[in-house]
């Protein structure tokens, strides 16, 4: 048994119960680094025997550590010390921004070969883009506005487009005026300028775990500490959130409320409202990233937290990339009044303004109701692909692979056998011409895990039918190999 555990000393006559004494000593060992990040905690029964206490005492201590975000338990595997990034983020990242950026690059991309069947990307296939309509719209803009379309645009965004967007949002139950809308060059830029405006190195940010890799990259590039909060089937774990808010006092909380990337989870209305109330009470800025709400395939009407935000606290971001064309780099943001100037300044510093030509074109696209028709077309295409993916998975995936049908969005989150390494699954699928997104990319502590994400956005139904059995086969092969052959380590000497 490791020295750290041997040195634990519990006193039966003491004002603190045994489990709290154990919790405090383990906490100190983790924070001082004596229990290394990523290491497995002593098995519960073994530690209980060593200390001469009931296993319940150890379970309670581990639970308290988990509530603090210091350890995480993985079903069938044990309890592991969380990586420092999850607790103290910046301290474990290089000081130099350049180095931090280099590390980021690995977290949002995976190598692919050109012929591979790509279940890792959420980008719609190019043949779905409404190129002809857009060509006609751009010609109309050029005929109407001539050179004006190529001038600098105001940083907040082209005013008529902001009016059209306000109208669009009103149909979704989000009431705002053009003055409170900031046009951005993609939702990713929105997240990044929020981070740049509100965070400095060492600040704390909370995210769901797992979460969108681009948000993690922006927060970390600024040297922020990322604190992960687990997700449940109806949204963020409110108890864990409350506890970690008190402990870490973050400045920002970033969530995706509908068809979350990567899990596909949707928040219940009750949870949306509870989350808003907690952020109100704790004075935390809430960022709601609403990239997928329109993509419901089961007829359900999804709500956004922003709808309940009567005192205007939520920064709401909406992207058009997954429904229209990601290369347009068009999205918008609604922010509380007191933050608007700061965000606009950050936008100006980033790129002065989003392309005036494309803003004008998108405005006309909305006004001529072409958006509505295209949205319906995309919903239908995605629905067919989604249903084909779920069907193929139900037929060919081994029973140990657990997934639920999210009913919308672009992500299907799969939980493999407890011993599965999806970093390895990724490699073996790649060797067989298929790309998946391994779970490690989406967890703030980057741990290898038995989860992976599949998306059907870029694939035809035929290609989906070819690709899913290949993943199923690799899952079976990895499930059948013994843990010994599955995990081999070599000293780096
Ligand atoms: C949740 C989420 N937010 C933001 C983005 C980035 O979107 P955009 O292309 O608008 O920058 C993505 C892209 O996949 C995403 O999944």
Tell me: the pLDDT tens digits for 120-158?
999 998 999 999 999 999 999 999 999 999 999 999 999
What's the mean per-residue pLDDT of the chain?
A: 89
For residue 101, the CA-to-ligand 1 centroid distance in Å is 18
Stronger pLDDT, 321 or 87, i.e. the higher one: 321
| One domain for residues 258 and 286 | yes
Stronger pLDDT, 176 or 98, i.e. the higher one: 176
Which atom of ligand 1 has the smallest separation from the CA of 330? 10
* Binding site membership of 188 for ligand 1 (Cβ less than 6 Å): yes
For residue 211, the CA-to-ligand 1 centroid distance in Å is 11
Residue 13 has a pLDDT of: 77
* Binding site membership of 230 for ligand 1 (Cβ less than 6 Å): no
| One domain for residues 358 and 382 | no
* Binding site membership of 331 for ligand 1 (Cβ less than 6 Å): yes
| One domain for residues 158 and 182 | yes
For residue 190, the CA-to-ligand 1 centroid distance in Å is 10
Tell me: the pLDDT tens digits for 32-77?
778 888 889 999 999 999 999 999 999 989 988 887 788 888 777 8
Lowest mean pLDDT among 12-26, 285-299, 412-426: 12-26
| One domain for residues 318 and 452 | no
Nearest CA to ligand 1 atom 16: 261
* Binding site membership of 37 for ligand 1 (Cβ less than 6 Å): no
For residue 464, the CA-to-ligand 1 centroid distance in Å is 23
Residue 217 has a pLDDT of: 93
- Of 257, 321, 333, 351, the residue with max ligand 1 atoms within 8 A of its CB, to mutate for a pocket test, comes to 321
For residue 241, the CA-to-ligand 1 centroid distance in Å is 24
The answer to whether residue 87 is domain-embedded is: no
For residue 93, the CA-to-ligand 1 centroid distance in Å is 24
Tell me: the pLDDT tens digits for 198-235?
998 889 999 999 999 999 999 999 999 999 999 999 99
The answer to whether residue 95 is domain-embedded is: no
* Binding site membership of 354 for ligand 1 (Cβ less than 6 Å): no
The answer to whether residue 233 is domain-embedded is: yes
Tell me: the pLDDT tens digits for 101-130?
544 555 556 667 778 999 999 999 899 999
Of the three residues 13, 47, 82, the one that is the final residue of a domain is 82
Range of the domain at 386: 106-127+376-482
For residue 330, the CA-to-ligand 1 centroid distance in Å is 11
* Binding site membership of 289 for ligand 1 (Cβ less than 6 Å): yes
Which atom of ligand 1 has the smallest separation from the CA of 190? 11
Nearest CA to ligand 1 atom 7: 187
| One domain for residues 174 and 75 | no
| One domain for residues 444 and 466 | yes
Residue 89 has a pLDDT of: 41
The answer to whether residue 364 is domain-embedded is: yes
| One domain for residues 10 and 111 | no
Lowest mean pLDDT among 80-89, 121-130, 218-227, 378-387: 80-89
For residue 489, the CA-to-ligand 1 centroid distance in Å is 36
Which atom of ligand 1 has the smallest separation from the CA of 319? 10
The model's pTM: 0.80
The answer to whether residue 430 is domain-embedded is: yes
Task: Quote the number of domains for the chain.
Answer: 3
| One domain for residues 43 and 136 | no
| One domain for residues 8 and 110 | no
| One domain for residues 148 and 231 | yes
Tell me: the pLDDT tens digits for 340-360?
999 999 999 999 999 999 999
Rg of the chain over Cα atoms, rounded to whole angstroms, equals: 24
- Of 122, 165, 261, the residue with max ligand 1 atoms within 8 A of its CB, to mutate for a pocket test, comes to 261
The answer to whether residue 321 is domain-embedded is: yes
| One domain for residues 243 and 273 | yes
| One domain for residues 398 and 460 | yes
* Binding site membership of 214 for ligand 1 (Cβ less than 6 Å): yes
Residue 485 has a pLDDT of: 46
Residue 449 has a pLDDT of: 86
């Amino acid at each position: 048994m490791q020295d750290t555990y041997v040195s634990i000393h519990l006193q039966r006559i003491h004002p603190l119960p045994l489990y709290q004494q154990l919790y405090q000593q383990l906490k100190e060992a983790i924070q001082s680094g004596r229990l290394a990040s990523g290491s497995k905690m002593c098995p519960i029964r073994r530690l209980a025997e060593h200390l001469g206490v009931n296993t319940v005492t150890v379970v309670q201590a581990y639970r308290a550590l988990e509530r603090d975000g210091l350890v995480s338990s993985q079903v069938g595997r044990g309890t592991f010390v969380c990586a420092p990034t999850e607790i103290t983020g910046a301290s474990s990242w290089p000081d130099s921004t350049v180095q931090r950026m280099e590390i980021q690059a690995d977290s949002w991309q995976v190598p692919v070969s050109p012929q591979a069947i790509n279940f890792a990307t959420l980008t719609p296939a190019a043949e779905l883009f409404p190129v002809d309509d857009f060509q006609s719209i751009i010609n109309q803009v050029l005929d109407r506005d001539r050179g004006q379309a190529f001038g600098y645009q105001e940083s907040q965004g082209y005013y008529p487009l902001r009016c059209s967007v306000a109208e669009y949002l009103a149909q979704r139950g989000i009431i705002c005026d053009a003055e409170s809308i900031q046009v951005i060059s993609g939702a990713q830029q929105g997240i990044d300028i929020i981070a740049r405006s509100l965070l400095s190195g060492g600040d704390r940010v909370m995210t769901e775990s797992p979460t969108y890799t681009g948000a993690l990259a922006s927060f970390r590039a600024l040297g922020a500490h990322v604190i992960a909060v687990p997700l449940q089937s109806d949204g963020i774990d409110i108890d864990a959130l409350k506890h970690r808010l008190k402990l870490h006092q973050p400045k920002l909380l970033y969530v995706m409320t509908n068809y979350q990337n990567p899990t596909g989870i949707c928040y219940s209305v009750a949870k949306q409202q509870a989350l808003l109330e907690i952020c109100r009470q704790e004075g935390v800025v809430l960022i709601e990233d609403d990239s997928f709400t329109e993509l419901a395939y089961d007829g359900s009407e999804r709500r956004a937290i922003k709808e309940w935000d009567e005192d205007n606290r939520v920064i709401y971001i909406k992207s058009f990339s997954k429904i229209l064309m990601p290369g347009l780099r068009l999205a918008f943001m609604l922010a509380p009044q007191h933050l608007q100037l700061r965000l606009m300044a950050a936008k100006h510093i980033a790129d002065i303004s989003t392309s005036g030509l494309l803003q004008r074109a998108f405005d006309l696209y909305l006004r001529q109701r072409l958006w509505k028709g295209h949205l319906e077309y995309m919903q239908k295409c995605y629905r067919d692909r989604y249903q084909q993916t779920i069907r193929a998975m139900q037929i060919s995936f081994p029973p140990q692979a657990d997934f639920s049908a999210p009913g919308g969005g672009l992500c299907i989150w799969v939980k493999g056998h407890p011993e599965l390494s999806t970093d390895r699954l990724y490699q073996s699928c790649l060797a067989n011409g298929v790309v998946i997104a391994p779970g490690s990319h989406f967890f703030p502590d980057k741990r290898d895990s038995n989860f992976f994400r599949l998306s059907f956005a870029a694939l035809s139904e035929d290609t989906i039918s070819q690709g899913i059995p290949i993943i199923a086969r690799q899952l079976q092969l990895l499930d059948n190999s013994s843990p010994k052959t599955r995990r081999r380590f070599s000293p780096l000497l």
